[in-house]
Amino acid sequence: MEFSTQTTASLHQIKTAALAVGVFADGELSAAADIIDRAAGGALRAVLKTEFKAKPDTHLVLRNLEGVMAVRVILIGLGKKNAYKPAAHVNAEFAFARYCADASLAEGVTTLASIECPGSSLHERARAAASAALSAVYRYTETFGKPQDPAPKLKKIALAVARADAAEAQKGLREGRAIGNGMSLTRLLGDLPPNVCTPTYLGNTAKKLAREFKTLKAEVLDQKRIEALKMGSFLSVARGSYEPPAFIVLTHTPAGMTAAQRKDKAPIVLVGKGITFDAGGISIKPAAAMDEMKYDMCGAASVLGTMRAIAELELGREVIGLIAACENLPSGRANKPGDIVTSMSGQTIEILNTDAEGRLVLCDALTYAERFKPAAVIDMATLTGACVIALGHVNTGLFSTDDALAQSLLQAGRETNDPAWRMPLEDAYQKQLQSNFADIANIGGRDAGAVTAACFLSRFTQNYAWAHLDIAGTAWNSGKQKGATGRPVPLLVNYLIAQA
């Protein structure tokens, strides 16, 4: 999709299929809406008095207003002005773009980013407008036998801003476009069925990205090479499936970066859980909603989406993406409760529950990350149902042993409407992971399940700054709205931009 700025002050003279203006529930018009209202002889205020309450997530279409060149003026409800926050702006931009897509329009102009919003800059609002527009036009079509609804025709969105603000808005649009494209890739990988999106498919996706972007280099390690690394914990999960595992290394190196520069500034490493289907293994899950376990690779999908975004932005910082990908299925070769495996770090693990497999693949990936002497390592995983119980579907669970890293990630989430909430990680929780037969047990009981899962991972991250994002409640939607969300790509990309 193409994004641009529209700097004319004469909004009523803009020729477009759809012009979005914001109105507040208390009857106050935004500055842009006021201009259109005056040009149209008070048509907007008349509608506000009679039929449009301007509540959040609502819109009204006015066609062929006298004195206005736009074919349609879309009134976007913003809710009460004193409650207008960045999240409301994101929803408003999404509503406009979704209308344009549903109405089969090819282009539109939005004035919404020009509305002052406490806690956000124009740069951030422009970024949100672009990513929201790309989210609005996302459609899953890959596995339908018959054509569904026609694909959205929306190809161009322009932001109406003051001429002096154009450069700031364009910077935000560029970032938002990259984030939106990264989210779309993440969503597509999550939504694909597990018989298509296998570990091999994820590896091929990484290779495809490396062909598309010159700053990316992909390497996919097969089972023999994984065995040579002595990743016994990861491989124990893969044993139960006939699908071969894959360990993916995707590196973004800025163009022109010298070996000396690489040595001077340590890379940031992203680690993703890539369980392309999780039946729970021998500790098998209930049948209800098991189909949603195709989303257990959303951590891996988020790594790939984030790497795509930073490659598009030509980010000036080395970033390495690591993905441990396999299936977790029950079979005669699968892990059994009571088995003891040896991780790449040399620590032994007693497997008390084979459905706590995410930490078993991540721990070896986190050990592998040490070789890069990273500035920071961030892993993301649909790790625990306990995190969903604790935080629901609003906040991603954030665990970290480094306060500065945690604060940077929290800030990045706030700025992109992709929020996280920091959870405890005290040493006192570690005792729940004690085992009579190994260095560590893979579960710590029902109490504080998300915390003890993070505590498990922390034992493999002693040599670098580390954060863990539990995205079990935020990576996808369930039920009738089933589908991947693309989170936490916005948070990660914004964090990486700040580090560059």
Q: Cβ of 50: how many Cβ atoms within 10 Å?
A: 7
359 assigned to active site: yes
d(CA 183, CA 132): 10
Report the alpha-carbon angle 132-133-134, nearest 5.
Answer: 90
> What is the rounded distance in angstroms from the CA atom of residue 382 to the CA atom of residue 387?
9
Burial class of residue 285, CB neighbours in 10 A (0-12, 13-18, 19+) = middle
Which letter, b or e, does each residue of 73-106 get, where b requires 16 or more Cβ atoms within 10 Å of its Cβ?
A: bbbbbbbebeebebebbbbbbbbbbbbbbebebe
Cα–Cα distance measured from residue 30 to residue 269, given in angstroms and rounded to the nearest whole number: 43
Name the strand (E) or helix (H) holding 72.
strand 72-77
Q: Which of 362, 421, 417 is nearest to 396 (CA)?
A: 421
Task: Report the distance separating Cα 405 and Cα 319, nearest Å.
Answer: 16
Which helix (H) or strand (E) segment is 272 a member of? Answer: strand 268-278
Assess contact for 276 and 248: CB atoms under 8 A.
Answer: no
In angstroms, rounded to a whole number, what is the distance separating the alpha carbons of residues 198 and 243? 7
- CA 26, distance to chain mean position in Å, is 34
In sequence order, the 6+-apart residues with CB closer than 8 A to the CB of 280 are 328, 330, 354, 355
From 317, 359, 459, 487, the catalytic residue: 359
Taken in order 274, 278, 282, 285, the sign of the CA dihedral is: positive
Q: What is the CB-side half-sphere exposure of residue 2 using CA atoms within 13 A?
A: 9
Encoded tokens for 296:
């257990």
Going by C-alpha positions, the residue among 340, 338, 353, 364 that lies closest to residue 460 is: 364
Residue 285 annotated as catalytic:
yes
| Helices 166-191, 122-137: inter-axial angle, 10-degree rounding | 30
Q: Which of 38, 207, 230, 285 is catalytic?
A: 285
Place of tokens 């595992």: 245
Sheet strands side by side (includes 376-381): 216-221, 246-252, 319-328, 268-278, 376-381, 466-470, 396-400, 420-422
Which residues are catalytically annotated? 285, 359
